[in-house]
Amino acid sequence: MTETLPPLPTVKKSPSPKAAAPGAGGAAPSWAVAEVNSRLTAEDKVALFRTMLRIRRFEERSLRAYQAKKIGGFLHLYVGQEAVAVGCCSLMGKNDHVITAYRDHGHALAVGMDMRGLMAELYGKSTGCSKGKGGSMHFFDPSRNYWGGHGIVGGQIPLGTGIAYALKYQGLKGACMAFMGDGAVNQGAVHESYNLAALWQLPVVFVIENNGYSMGTSQQRSSAGELGQRAEAYSMAWEICDGHDVYQVREVMDRFLREARENCRPGIVEIRTYRYRGHSVSDPDKTYRHKSEVEEYRRTKDPIQVFQDTLIAEGVIDPARAEQLDAEVRAEAESAADYAEASPFPSIEDITKDVYWEEDNPSEKKSQGRIFF
């Protein structure tokens, strides 16, 4: 068994169509000097770091709650992938939107959702961000342009393409980031979306969060060729980037987002990342990869450690400040769990609410159409 395990995925540089990669070719490329990163204030950088920490500590706290049987169903943890959601979502403007799959806690926190509502959702409480009706895989906050949280692999990609269509239709300069995992690239709905996006020149950036494994099947065992390269079949730009470096994620995504917003050019960014936990908490994580592989990633590439080291080297924070931030974030996660614990469950009557708009808004029955837009 162990001898058939695949080698560590390597991060390759791609034939980048518009790469103006700073430091490219140098021994140690520094993405920090890219304009999108060099304009960050110390405060901005601390905010990025803090959001990454918030994701990690939230996930760890939710795992403990799961183990204490406070949470039902599935729990897909984002630990290890923090730089991806944080890097991407930190670039969002007023008309930019996000949609993702079921590993959705990181994106929810990255767009600024409150930990309490998320934890309460995991607990199935009425104070949850979806009133306890969605669960772990179905976080939503349209007020933050966050459209979920979708359970079916690849099923959200047509929706994200439609969000981009709506932006273009309404003449808004914005883009939709449609996130998927590496397992989603083989779904038909994803390819149909690629075609529509390229055919109609929609402002969507398809983001493949390639953590190397679609559930327990490695990329080598599930997908032919480079994942991002499939863009070429649809005449779209594509690029691979290292998802352990939040600066690099921002630099690459910034270019693709600007192309989408300003020129309605869709693209695919494959971000190489790694998850430390199993596919979900029910995955014993023993059959398809070596423990040593996880340890190697944790030791050498951990996105939070990498960024912390960078910030210390830049003089933005010192180790004491990093520890203090971590303590604050842990306390926030703890308090979110307390909030979730203390919140009530939905009532039996709540089961049949939020099914139909008309039933929930009987007084407005006669004024159908254009009500909430």
Partner 1 sequence: MPSLSYREAIRMALIEELHRDPNVVVMGEEVAQFNGAYKVTEGLLEKFGPKRIVDTPISEAGFVGLGIGASMLGIRPVIELMFWSFYSVAFDQILNNAANVRYMSGGQIHCPIVIRGPANGGTNVGATHSHTPENVCANHPGVKVVCPATAYDAKGLLKSAIRDNDPVFFMENTLLYGDRAEIPDEEYLIPIGQANIKRPGIDLTIVAHGRAVITSLAAAQILERDYDISAEVVDLRSIRPLDEATVLASVRKTHRVLLVEENKPFCGVGAQLSHMIQEQAFDELDAPIRRVSSIDAPAIYSPPLEAEQLPTPQRVLRAALETLR
Residues found near partner 1 in the complex (CB under 8 A): 97, 99, 128-134, 138, 140-143, 147-152, 155-163, 165-167, 169-170, 188-189, 192-193, 195-196, 199, 353-358, 360, 368-373
CB of 247 to partner 1, least distance (A): 31
Q: Cβ distance 121 to 115 under 8 Å? A: no
Cβ 160 vs Cβ 167: under 8 Å: no
**What stretches of the chain show up as alpha helix (H) in DSSP?**
35-38, 42-67, 82-89, 105-110, 115-122, 156-169, 188-199, 219-222, 246-263, 291-301, 303-314, 319-342, 357-360
Residue 1 or 372: the one with the smaller Cβ distance to partner 1 is 372
CB neighbour list of residue 230: distance below 8 Å, 6 or more residues apart: 185, 191, 194, 238, 268
Which of 105, 54, 80 is closest to 244 using CA atoms? 80
Tokens representing residue 117 in the block: 């509502």
**Closest separation in Å from C-beta 347 to partner 1:** 14
> What b-and-e string marks burial along 35-46, b requiring 16 or more CB atoms within 10 Å of the CB?
ebbeebeeeebb
User: Closer to partner 1 at the Cβ: 69 or 370?
Assistant: 370
Residue 343 Cβ vs partner 1, minimum distance, rounded to whole Å: 14
Q: Least distance from C-beta 346 to partner 1, angstroms? A: 9
In the complex, what is the shortest distance from the CB of residue 345 to partner 1, in angstroms, rounded to a whole number? 14
Smaller CB separation from partner 1, 157 or 316: 157
Looking at beta carbons only, is 202 or 208 nearer to partner 1? Answer: 202
Cβ closest to partner 1, residue 159 vs residue 312: 159
